Structure 1
Amino acid sequence: MEAEKTVKSRGIRKTKVGIVLRDRMDKTVVVQVERVVQHPVYKKFTKRRTTYKAHDENNEYHTGDKVEIVETRPLSKEKCWRVSRLIERPVVR
């Protein structure tokens, strides 16, 4: 019999899309994610914003960039997200 290799899967990670607010820290960007929530009684839709600190290894993302972040292991006290890809850069006028 041939020994089977067991591959440990990391599972499905959460992803979010947001806009970079600040890039002043080394290897870290602050990303603002906007979501729409419906009021439980009045049924009105409102926008909610949350900011996340995300890891940016090469300091390649700047303010205004639209990026996708994925959940990762805790990298510091407040940082447990990582920038996975750039979606679009803002148009410079």
Structure 2
Amino acid sequence: MSANQKQAKAPGAGRRNEQVGVVVSAKMQKSVVVAVVRLVQHAVYHKTIRRTSTFMAHDEKGAHKGDTVRIVEARPLSKRKRWRVEEILTRATAVEDTAGLEESAR
């Protein structure tokens, strides 16, 4: 294999696994916790059950809690981080603090 063929193969050298989920924690610097929901069928009763998996992902995009994001597999970045945020699909709507408004009105 020549050097040109290796370079051409490197960027797409295998399909990276992708998941879409919701950010459940964004309290760390450049890291988020993403919850991914999948549907599985019960082995005996054949009822469809929701299962949730959480992944720690590297976040350079600045995702916040409640955002829907696409994450892709990456090289190991730390002990628990093996994913990175590819893109933010939808932003969470800003929720106003209604408790603080009610107290100030009294």
TM over 0.5: yes
Quote how far apart the aligned CAs of 1:4 are.
7.0
Q: In the superposition, relative to structure 1, how do residues 57 and 39 fare at CA in structure 2: closer, same or farther (>3 Å)? A: same
Counterpart in the other structure of 1:85:
87
Counterpart in the other structure of 1:70:
72
**How many residues are aligned here?**
90
Quote how far apart the aligned CAs of 1:11 are.
0.8
Relative to the length of structure 1, the TM-score reads: 0.89
Relative to the length of structure 2, the TM-score reads: 0.79
Matches of residues 11-22 of structure 1 in structure 2 within 5 Å?
Answer: 11-22=14-25
* Structure 1 stretches lacking a partner, 5+ long: none
* Alpha-carbon distance in 1 for matches of 2:92, 2:60: 21
Amino acid at match of 1:84: E
Quote how far apart the aligned CAs of 1:63 are.
0.2
Structure showing greater relative contact order (alpha-carbon pairs closer than 8 Å, 6 or more residues apart)? 1
Quote how far apart the aligned CAs of 1:41 are.
1.6
SS of alignment partner, residue 23 of structure 1: strand
Provide, for residues 35-80 of structure 1, a one-character-per-residue CA deviation record: whole Å limited to 9, x for no partner: 000011210000000110000125x100000000000100001000
In percent, how many aligned pairs have the same letter? 46
* Alpha-carbon distance in 2 for matches of 1:32, 1:4: 41
Regions of 4+ moved over 3 Å: none
* Alpha-carbon distance in 1 for matches of 2:19, 2:69: 8
Quote how far apart the aligned CAs of 1:91 are.
2.4
